[in-house]
Amino acid sequence: MDNRTLKNLLYEQVARIGKAVSSPKRLELLELLAQGEKTVETLASELSTDIKLTSAHLRALKEARLVTARREGKYIIYRLAGSDVAGLWVSLRQVAEEHLLELKMALSRMVADPANLAAVSRETLLEQARRGDVMVLDVRPRDEYAAAHLPFARSMPVAEIEQRLAELPADAEIVAYCRGPFCLWSDEAVALLSARGYRVRKMLDGVSEWQAAGLPVEWGGVSP
């Protein structure tokens, strides 16, 4: 094999990854699976697509070795092939945010009130949570919290917040997070709690962003 042919082969292999993530739905699948393993049925519901199309997207990701699958009874369960795949999603999104004006504008519309964003660094927030000065609220589904969550975070899915207000501190700031910058559950939590007089902000980071920044996360367990 001559050098040109070898170089072509190398770039072709890397291009397999680019081709696999060239679909918006496949990118969303990576973000969903970064929260933990899920069945095809759950993923189809999250994507608002049928199971056949979702399965086709998952096959493309599997052929590129970005996800793996296992069978459990009648269900096929998918997961990311490694934490580096979650990092790939974060990196792609960050590059897009940096260079695509259209994405910047869309994100600015999502964050209607910048005052609702947590204004401290990740490291400062971690220290504040450790001291108990801030309650970090994970508003994702319970299974995603169990798969991985930020240190000192309490699990409170957004659908449960109204029934669990008594568990929240009246004298400490609350910082809510969900799956990352594209996730709207934290906005719902901020709106709900602000209307009830709580001091609450949202954090754009999810678990994947936290890990990509080299910060610790916790696995399993029950919410404190």
- 112 confidence band (pLDDT: 50, 70, 90): low
pLDDT tens profile 154-207: 999 999 999 999 999 988 899 999 999 999 999 999 999 999 999 999 999 999
d(CA 101, CA 107) in angstroms, rounded, equals 10
- As a whole-number percent, the residues of the chain with pLDDT over 90 amount to 85
Question: In CATH, what class is 3-86?
Answer: mainly alpha
Residue 221 binned pLDDT confidence (cut-offs 50, 70, 90): low
- Distance from the first to the final alpha carbon of the chain: 59
Residue 119 pLDDT: 66
Structure confidence at residue 26 as a pLDDT band (50, 70, 90):
very high
Domain ranges of the chain: 3-86, 110-212
Pairing verdict, β 173-177 and 200-202: parallel
CATH code of 110-212, in short, is 3.40.250.10
Catalytic residue among 64, 139, 178, 183: 178
Q: Is 183 a catalytic residue?
A: no
b/e sequence 123-145, b meaning 16+ C-beta within 10 Å: eebbebbeeeebbbbbbbbeebb
Structure letter (DSSP) for residue 64: T
Instruction: Give yes or no for residue 55 having a pLDDT over 60.
Output: yes
- Going by C-alpha positions, the residue among 158, 148, 130, 161 that lies closest to residue 205 is 148
Selected residue with higher pLDDT from 59 and 121: 59
